């Protein structure tokens, strides 16, 4: 199946005109897509309105058990349903999901310090395969569940990576920034494992971007293909969705060892 996993985050989710144009481009491209979304901005706004404190450690939001209900409401609720409504308006067939629907993934708590924050591993791809073969557009929020039935907040880049691994599909992470930037704010077109470690050690890559590049490298190694980090603001983006060469402007994260076509087919 020729499926592309696309993750959208940042201010994209606050701009319904941009999201609508994106869904129109998906329809025009006839490319099968699984969309994974974040919504950290929506969570921030809700926490502000509720006068709740908001803290991140190394790019991950501290989520006390008492606050997970608000994160779920914002991400699996408002943001997911808003995206589904815009996709439906663009005459696509959206199905709004979370990470554990159809037993797609299993989450576990990352650390007591982070509270209800999860990391996820792949379990079952049948639901996604069924939806894709019937021409539905899966739109997945980054809410997971652990084996004790607790809801967990998963970073949306990590969520997208687990979906790409599950399907063995190429992955594009779309953000507010053009890609990974160097100390002079110039775009770095390509990054290898060693280069990523050096830039994180030097503090050039940090916060949300360090979570993103580590997740992208993990996905690149698992699927044996480069992963792209690009901006949804880039005017070439919508054309790139239909481009089988995956010529996305932005930063390309290289796998340690690319897989052959045969190895990729076996995924």
Ligand X SMILES: CC(=O)N[C@@H](CCC(=O)OP(=O)(O)O)C(=O)O
Ligand Y SMILES: Nc1ncnc2c1ncn2[C@@H]1O[C@H](COP(=O)(O)OP(=O)(O)O)[C@@H](O)[C@H]1O
261: annotated active-site residue: no
| Residue 61, binding choice from ligand Y, ligand X, none, Cβ under 5 to 8 Å by partner class | ligand X
Q: By CB under 6 A, is residue 212 in contact with ligand Y?
A: yes
What residues between 159 and 218 interact with ligand X by CB under 6 A? 208
Please work out the total of residues on this chain that contact ligand Y, with binding judged by CB under 6 A: 17
Catalytic residue chosen out of the listed positions 9, 96, 101, 157: 157
Catalytic residue chosen out of the listed positions 7, 118, 218, 250: 7
Minimum distance from residue 148 beta carbon to ligand Y (Å): 28
| Residue 168, binding choice from ligand Y, ligand X, none, Cβ under 5 to 8 Å by partner class | none
DSSP letters of the chain?
Answer: --EEEEEE-GGGGG-HHHHHHHHHHHHHHT-EEEEEE--HHHHHHHHHHTT----EETTEE-B-GGGHHHHHIIIIIIIHHHHHHHHHHTT--EEEE-TTGGG-EEEEE--GGGBSBEEEEE---HHHHHHHHTT-EEEEESEEE-TTS-EEE--HHHHHHHHHHHHT--EEEEESSSS-B-TTS-B--EE-HHHHHHHHHTTSS-HHHHHHHHHHHHHHHHHTS-EEEEETT-TTHHHHTT-TT---SSEEEPPSSPPPHHHHHT-
Residue selected from 10, 115, 226, 255 as contacting ligand X according to rule CB under 6 A: 10
Q: By CB under 6 A, is residue 67 in contact with ligand X?
A: no
Residues labelled catalytic: 7, 10, 40, 157, 212
- Binding-site sequence positions for substrate: 39-40, 61, 153
Residues engaged in binding ligand Y (CB under 6 A):
9-10, 38, 40, 157, 175-177, 180-181, 204-209, 212
């Amino acid at each position: 199946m020729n499926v592309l996993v696309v993750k959208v985050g940042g201010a994209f989710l606050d701009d319904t005109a941009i999201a609508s144009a994106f869904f129109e481009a998906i329809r025009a491209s006839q490319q099968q897509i699984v969309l994974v979304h974040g919504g950290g901005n929506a969570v921030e706004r809700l926490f502000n309105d509720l006068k709740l404190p908001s803290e991140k450690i190394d790019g991950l939001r501290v989520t006390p058990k008492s606050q997970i209900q608000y994160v779920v409401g914002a991400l699996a609720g408002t943001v997911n349903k808003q995206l589904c409504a815009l996709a439906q308006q663009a005459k696509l067939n959206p199905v709004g999901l979370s990470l554990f629907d159809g037993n797609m993934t299993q989450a576990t708590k990352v650390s007591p310090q982070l509270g209800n924050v999860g990391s996820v591993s792949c379990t079952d791809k049948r639901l996604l395969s069924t939806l894709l073969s019937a021409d539905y557009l899966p739109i997945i929020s980054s809410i997971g569940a652990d084996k004790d039935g607790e809801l967990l907040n998963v970073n949306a880049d990590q969520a997208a990576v687990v979906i790409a691994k599950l399907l063995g599909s190429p992955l594009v992470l779309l953000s507010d920034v053009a890609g990974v930037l160097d100390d002079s704010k110039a775009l770095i077109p390509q990054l290898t494992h060693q280069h990523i470690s050096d830039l994180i050690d030097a503090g050039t890559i940090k916060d949300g971007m360090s979570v993103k590049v580590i997740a992208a490298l993990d996905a690149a190694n698992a699927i044996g293909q480069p992963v792209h980090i690009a901006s949804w603001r880039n005017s070439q983006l919508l054309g790139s969705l239909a481009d089988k060469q995956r010529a996305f402007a932005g930063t390309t994260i290289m796998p340690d060892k690319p897989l052959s076509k045969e190895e990729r087919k076996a995924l």
